[in-house]
Amino acid sequence: MDPFHYYAEYRVLVCKSCQYGIQPGYIAAHLRGEQHGLTRQQSNEIAVKYADTDLANPAMEAIVPSDIVLPIDHLPIYRDGLACRRCSYVCRSLTVIKRHQREVHNERIGRGRRPEVIAWEIVWCQCFFTSIGQRYFRVQQTTSAVDQSDYADRLLELIHRQLDEKEEEEEEKRRIIRESDEVTEVSAWLDRTEWIRHLEGWDKSKIAQLVKPAQQEEQELREVENSVVRLVEQARQTILQKKVSVFTLQRLESFQPGRDAQKPFHANFGMDTIQRYQRIWKQLLVYVLRTVDTEWQRYQCTKEQQDSIKSIRIAIDNFREDNSEAMQQEMDKYCLQLCVTLLAQRLDHDEYESAVISFLAVMGLENILGTSRYRFKSSAQYTPILSGFIKMAQMLTLQYCFQQEEDNEVESCRVLLEELHSRFLTDSSATPMDWALRLRRGISRRMTMAGCINWIGDTVVYELSRTD
């Protein structure tokens, strides 16, 4: 099968599986590379077909559509592009778009002036090349009813990126006084999370390893990771294919016990968002299976959780002996059961009894680049983890209810969801979800106070804070 698609209009050959344009003269080399791993002969056979194809050289000319076209097939769509309103320039970094405003349009930002109207907007973009000649171009937004929550998610991401970049810029200036400088701000955040108390006395660099992806030799954990991927995809399909009613989805979207949200829960995130989100749950299950019954276990397991873990281990053994689909389903079933039992834990004494909250503390650690030391993430860096955890918790619970109905364990998926929703997916339920929701609300409030976000009615408006 031909791995390429030729766009005559742009004179670009795009690799359909790698999703980028091939530099002219590198077709055979690309096919021999590790993504495809073809033999020299196979690569040459394909390359020869394109010997006479006219290919533009991205090092010599800008290869972008002259209009705002529909998204081009076989290329990723980035929903976080920043398009200049004064010219056709597009990028995906706030620092870069600000520099563009300064250098190309002579715009001064900050410096004693009132901030002017923001001269760029969030758009969808694509690019043909990922190395030499990489150039983003704007494309049309195809889902015309761009979902508000998706938009809000992107906006939040942008704000986080902005904060991160701003922090990086200031890092240099602050380095010397950093420790004392940060005391008040950081301690409020760490007070709230109590990470220091929970992780006290542990070597940060060692516990950070506990949430690393499964290694080659950790067969069991790798099966669990694969299960999570399948479960998330099943959940997504359950929603997208409308296998459950809108009532069920409106309940799922709500964080109030016994109440429906105004809008149904949606699952049309971009593929990269899904992957980021599901990675968090992969890490969570890996963390639990790595630490349970070891000296690293800093939480308590309920009876239901222990049973699920036992069943998972048996199912994995069976699956490895008999690679059948039925065994795989068995494995997925118990993984999903573990997810639900983790969420269902009532935290009446200490919230850190929960494996989930213990895991979320470990996820707060980040490696200090270029060293072997670790520090705690800032609240802004941490919000996407909470959002991912929350969204996936909702989806997995829904899938569990759906599955229970499919297996004739319950009569109605909706009735079961209503019950579980009130028990552990809402505010004031004293569960891991409740904890995550509170923490996230605390962060939004802090960011609002810091002047990064303003609310006008239901719309969130972000402002650039001055960098000087």
What is the DSSP track for 302-360? Answer: -HHHHHHHHHHHHHHHHHHHS--HHHHHHHHHHHHHHHHHHHT---SS-GGGSHHHHHH
Min separation Cβ 390 and Zn ion, Å: 35
Which residues, at least 6 apart from 66, have a Cβ–Cβ distance to it below 8 Å? Answer: none
Which residues, at least 6 apart from 82, have a Cβ–Cβ distance to it below 8 Å? Answer: 90, 91, 92, 93, 94, 96, 97, 120, 121, 122, 123
Identity of the residue, 35 or 412, whose beta carbon is nearer to Zn ion in the bound complex: 35
Identity of the residue, 15 or 380, whose beta carbon is nearer to Zn ion in the bound complex: 15
- Binding pattern for the stretch 26-55 against Zn ion, x by CB under 5 A and - elsewhere: ---------x--------------------
Rounded to an integer, what distance in angstroms lies between the CA atom of residue 356 and that of residue 426?
16
Which residues, at least 6 apart from 256, have a Cβ–Cβ distance to it below 8 Å? Answer: 426, 427
Tell me if 401 contacts Zn ion by CB under 5 A.
no
CA distances (Å), 1 to each of 4, 42, 45, 72, 130, in order? 9, 11, 12, 21, 24
Tell me if 86 contacts Zn ion by CB under 5 A.
yes
Span 99-118, contacts to Zn ion by CB under 5 A: none
Place of tokens 């072997």: 372
Min separation Cβ 16 and Zn ion, Å: 8
Identity of the residue, 33 or 213, whose beta carbon is nearer to Zn ion in the bound complex: 33
First to last CA, the chain: 56
Number of neighbouring beta carbons within 10 Å of residue 154: 18
Stretch binding Zn ion (CB under 5 A), from 5-13, 15-23, 43-51, 339-347: 15-23
* Residue 208, H or E segment: helix 204-208
Tell me if 137 contacts Zn ion by CB under 5 A.
no
Stretch binding Zn ion (CB under 5 A), from 6-14, 82-90, 351-359, 442-450: 82-90
Give residue 451's region: left, alpha or beta (phi > 0; psi -120 to 50).
Answer: left
Rounded to an integer, what distance in angstroms lies between the CA atom of residue 159 and that of residue 181?
23
Identity of the residue, 83 or 274, whose beta carbon is nearer to Zn ion in the bound complex: 83
Stretch binding Zn ion (CB under 5 A), from 17-25, 235-243, 247-255, 360-368: 17-25
Identity of the residue, 271 or 369, whose beta carbon is nearer to Zn ion in the bound complex: 271
The size of the interface with Zn ion (CB under 5 A), counted in residues, is 7
CA distances (Å), 101 to each of 63, 321, 428, 462, in order? 22, 61, 46, 18
Identity of the residue, 44 or 149, whose beta carbon is nearer to Zn ion in the bound complex: 44
Tell me if 84 contacts Zn ion by CB under 5 A.
yes
Identity of the residue, 35 or 209, whose beta carbon is nearer to Zn ion in the bound complex: 35
Which position among 10, 18, 366, 446 is part of the footprint of Zn ion (CB under 5 A)?
18
Stretch binding Zn ion (CB under 5 A), from 78-86, 179-187, 299-307, 319-327: 78-86
Q: Residue 122: phi, psi to the nearest 5? A: -85, 125
Stretch binding Zn ion (CB under 5 A), from 9-17, 127-135, 264-272, 402-410: 9-17
Which position among 12, 14, 15, 249 is part of the footprint of Zn ion (CB under 5 A)?
15
Identity of the residue, 29 or 87, whose beta carbon is nearer to Zn ion in the bound complex: 87
Return residues touching Zn ion (CB under 5 A): 15, 18, 35, 84, 86-87, 89
